[in-house]
Amino acid sequence: MAPISIKTVLISESVDPHCRAILEENGIRVTEKQNMKKDELIAEIKDYDGLVVRSATKVTADVINAADNLKIIGRAGTGVDNVDVDAATKKGIIVMNTPSGNTISAAELTCALLMSLSRNVPQAAMSMKQGNWDRKKFMGAELYGKVLGIVGLGRIGKEVASRMQSFGMKTIGYDPITPPEVSASWGVEQMSLEQLWPQCDYITVHTPLMPSTVGLLNDETFAKCKKGVKVVNCARGGIIDEAALLRALESGQCGGAGLDVFVEEPPKDRSLVDHPNVISCPHLGASTKEAQARCGEDIALQIVDMVKGERLVGAVNAQVLASTFSQESHQLIKLGEAVGAVLQSCTASKKPFRQIQITTQGDCMKSSTGYMTSAVMVGLLNQESGCCPNLINVLSLAKESGITVNQAHCASDGTADGVCRVEILANSCGYKASGSVQGGVPVLLELSDSVFRQPVSLVGNLLFFKASASPQLLSSVAGLLATEGVEIESFSAPSERTGDLWYCVGVSSLLRDLSVLKPLVKEAAQLAV
C-alpha cells in the first residue's frame, strides 16, 4: 500500500500527552478540542485528515459525511461501538483501535470484581464506614476449587484465566474463533455454551457487543446455570440482559454480579446499581494510568507506522490493507488497478456491470487475492460518477451497485505464474483481460482472447482498438492519428493474424474524439495510466 498522507489530526478527548508528542515528532499537526457537541464536531472535522477519540465522542454517520478529508479514525482503546464503522467504510476511511492497550487493566479489574464478589469486600468496607462490625453478615466463599467460565477467549479472557488459575480456580471457556488447542495451552478447556452454563460457579464475559452477543446471559441461560452463580461484565453493557439479571438476583438464581458496564451509561435505572448483591463501577476497565498511556502511545505509533508505509495494526475495517506494505504488493496493486481501468475503458458503453470474476494464478499470488480483487475493482469503478473508490470501500460500493464480485486463486498452469485474470459480464457482453508484473512494471498479456505478442506496458497514454487483421491497419491508424496531432510511441499486436482482434498503441496524447477511428475499427477505448 502506498503511504497514506496524514498531515493534520484532531484529538477530541483527553488522551495521554505522549499521543500528541509522537504525532508531532513525525511531522503531523495536532489540535486538541475536548467536549465538543455534535454540531461543533461536524463543523470542525472537515479540516482534518485524522481523528483520535476515546469512548465519549460519538463518530456518527453525520460526522463522517461532513469529514471531506478524513482518512483515519483512531480509537485510543478497544471497543469501537462509538464509531459508525459502516459509514466510515463506505467513505473509505480506516477505523483503527488499540487492541492490546487496556488488556491488563481490564483483566485486573475483572479479577478484582471476582474476588470482591467472593468476599463481599465493598459491602464490608461500606459497613465499616457506617460504624458497624458485622462479621457474620459478610460471610464469603473461597475461589479455590471453584469453576470459572470465561465467555470470550481473546487477549483479556486469556489474562483473566492465567490470573484466576493462580487462585486455584478451574477455568473453562467458550470462543467461536480461538482454537480449542490454543486455549488448552493456557489452561482453559473449551466447550459449547450449553455445556458451560451448568458447570460454572462464576461467569465472566469478554466478547464484543454484536447481534450474536446481545443478551447472551438471559432468563433462559440463567435458568441453565447453577443456583447462586456469580457473574462479571467488564466488556460491554448489554451482553448480560439487565432485566433478566435483576430477576435472577431477586430469585437467588444469581448470587451476585460485578458490573463495570451498562446498556445506558450512566444508568438512569438504578435497580441493579442499588441491589445489595451487585458491585458496580463507572466503566473503569481502562481507567488506569498505564492503560491510558499505553492506548495513547499505541494509537499514535500505529498512525505513524501507517503513514510511513511500514505496517498496519489495529485496523477494524481495512484488513485487506494489512498485507499491502511490501514493494511487491505495491506493484501488484498498480497492476490490478491498471487491468481494471483497461476493462473499464473498453466496456464504457456496455454498462452496467453485472458480474466480475477475478482470479490470481501462481504461488507468488496466493496471498494477494484479497487486495488484488479490491485493486481491480478500484480501476473498474474509478470513473463512476459520485464514486470515490479505494481499497477499503470498493467492495461495499460494488455490492451497492448490484455487482457480483467473485474471487479465486489457482495454481500455475506451467506457462504463466503471477498472473491476474479478470472476466466481466456487462450488459450480456463478456470481456476479459490478464496481466502480470514484469521488471517491476504492470503489463497486459491478453485482452478478450487477443494474446499480445509483446506484453503491453500499462503506463502512459494507451489506445486500444478492435479491428480485422490487415497489413494496412497500422499505417492507416497511424495516418489518421497524425491528422489529429497524435504520435504513435509503441505498438502491440496480437499473436493471431486472422479475425477481429484487439491492438494497442502507446500515444503521445489521448484523442479528443474516439469516433474519428470509426472508419477503421469496430471498437476503441483509451486511457491514461
- Nine-digit cell at 14? 483527553
The whole-angstrom separation of Cα 418 and Cα 367 is 11
206 in catalytic set: no
The whole-angstrom separation of Cα 497 and Cα 469 is 6
Q: Break the chain down into helix, strand, coil percent, rounded to 5.
A: 35, 25, 40
Containing H/E element for 173? strand 170-174
- Could you check whether the bond before residue 208 is cis, i.e. omega within 30 degrees of 0? no
DSSP tag of 84: -
Angle of the 103-119 helix axis to the 289-307 helix axis, nearest 10: 160
DSSP H stretches of helix in 152-288:
155-165, 180-185, 193-196, 219-224, 242-251
For residue 4, the one-letter residue type is: I
Among residues 328, 331, 343, which one has the least CA distance to residue 441? 331
Strand partners, 31: 10
**How big is the CA angle at 218 (ends 216 and 224), to the nearest 5 degrees?**
100
For residue 32, the one-letter residue type is: E
For residue 416, the one-letter residue type is: A
The whole-angstrom separation of Cα 421 and Cα 423 is 7
For residue 160, the one-letter residue type is: V
Contact between residue 365 and residue 421 where contact means Cβ atoms under 8 Å apart: no
The whole-angstrom separation of Cα 322 and Cα 135 is 57
Catalytic residue among 283, 330, 354, 409: 283
Contact between residue 452 and residue 504 where contact means Cβ atoms under 8 Å apart: yes
How far, rounded to the nearest angstrom, does the alpha carbon of residue 324 sit from its chain's CA centroid?
A: 14
- The three-state DSSP-derived secondary structure of 406-452 is EEEEECCCCCCCCEEEEEEEECCEEEEEEEEEECCEEEEEEECCEEE
290 in catalytic set: no
- Nine-digit cell at 513? 474524439
Catalytic residue among 236, 242, 421, 446: 236
Strand partners, 407: 358
Strand partners, 463: 505, 526
The whole-angstrom separation of Cα 97 and Cα 82 is 12
Q: How far is CA 38 from CA 41, 57, 60, 97, 231, in A?
A: 5, 9, 9, 21, 36
18 in catalytic set: no
The whole-angstrom separation of Cα 123 and Cα 472 is 97
Catalytic residue among 25, 40, 265, 496: 265
Contact between residue 98 and residue 80 where contact means Cβ atoms under 8 Å apart: no
Q: Could you give the residue numbers annotated as active site?
A: 236, 265, 283
